[in-house]
């Protein structure tokens, strides 16, 4: 079974310095029919104006993964971490018992375009933590590359939940197949371009919630970048 979440159906927020689209309920956007999917709680697509960003603010009991599509994002947190991430960098922050952080567009001239993802942790009260890893373009090209997983295998960042994030950049005509174990689910988010998922066309910003499927076939109709979440029941 596949349920499609079209880009234009997402929640919207525009504060001038921030233009955002919400796949699930977030902030002032509340939709009881879209509160999350399995342990996936937030997918926000954000465009942040040059030099602008989120001042220091708290989080707790959430696994937060950031993926930059264009530009550069500066991060600082109460653990003493400070870095600038760009395309190819996966950032994971375990909020756990509580963490403070800020995020700003690192450029004074160009916007930054990113996806921020929140995943519910396996339990409350984890020790806060931070991790980031860079994946070269060739690691993402023409395939689905594991970039986040519970066991941190194959060079992925470690998330504290039975969930996986795979990212792929596909040229037009490329296809990939992802095997979904019995009882698990998948969420496919199209970050750029267009693809077909089990024959259904998805454009940039569209997503597919997948249940009761075993082999998920994704084919690029145009050059595309996709995120695939493999999730527990």
For the chain, which domains are there?
2-231 (2.60.120.10)
pLDDT tens figures, 73-104: 999 999 999 999 999 999 999 999 999 999 99
Q: What residues does 166 pair with on adjacent strands?
A: 146, 228
- Tokens 């066309």 belong to residue: 201
| pLDDT reported for residue 233 | 76
Q: 48: pLDDT confidence band, cut at 50, 70 and 90?
A: very high
Cα angle for residues 1, 207, 26 (degrees, 5° grid)? 115
Q: What percent of the chain has pLDDT over 70?
A: 100
Stretch 197-210: mean pLDDT = 96
Do residues 102 and 52 make contact, with C-beta atoms less than 8 angstroms apart?
no
Residue 41 has pLDDT above 90, yes or no: yes
Nearest to 24 by CA among 92, 118, 96: 118
Strand 145-149, strand 157-158: pairing: parallel
Tokens (6 digits) for 103: 């995020």
Stretch 142-160: mean pLDDT = 97
- Tokens 């023409």 belong to residue: 142
Q: Across the chain, what does the average pLDDT equal?
A: 97
Q: What percent of the chain has pLDDT over 90?
A: 99
Residue 144 has pLDDT above 80, yes or no: yes
Tokens (6 digits) for 47: 């465009």
Stretch 194-214: mean pLDDT = 96
Stretch 162-189: mean pLDDT = 97
Stretch 228-232: mean pLDDT = 97
């Amino acid at each position: 079974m596949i349920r499609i979440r079209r880009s234009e159906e997402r929640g919207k927020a525009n504060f001038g310095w921030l233009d955002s689209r919400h796949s699930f309920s977030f902030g002032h956007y509340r939709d009881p029919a879209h509160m999350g999917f399995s342990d996936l709680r937030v997918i926000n697509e954000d465009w942040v104006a040059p030099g602008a960003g989120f001042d220091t603010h708290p989080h707790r009991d959430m696994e937060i993964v950031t993926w930059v599509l264009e530009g550069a994002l500066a991060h600082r947190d109460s653990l003493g971490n400070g870095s600038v991430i760009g395309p190819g960098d996966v950032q994971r922050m375990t909020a756990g018992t509580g963490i403070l952080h800020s995020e700003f567009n690192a450029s004074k001239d160009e916007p930054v375009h990113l996806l921020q993802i929140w995943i519910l942790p396996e339990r409350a009260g984890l020790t806060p933590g931070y991790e980031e890893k860079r994946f070269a373009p060739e690691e993402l090209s023409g395939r689905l590359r594991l970039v986040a997983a519970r066991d941190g295998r194959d060079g992925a960042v470690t998330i504290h939940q039975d969930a996986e994030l795979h990212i792929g950049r596909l040229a037009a005509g490329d296809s990939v197949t992802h095997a979904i174990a019995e009882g698990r689910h998948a969420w496919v988010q199209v970050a750029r371009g267009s693809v077909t998922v089990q024959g259904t066309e998805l454009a940039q910003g569209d997503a597919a919630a997948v249940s009761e499927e075993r082999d998920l076939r994704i084919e690029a109709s145009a050059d595309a970048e996709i995120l695939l979440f493999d999730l527990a029941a």
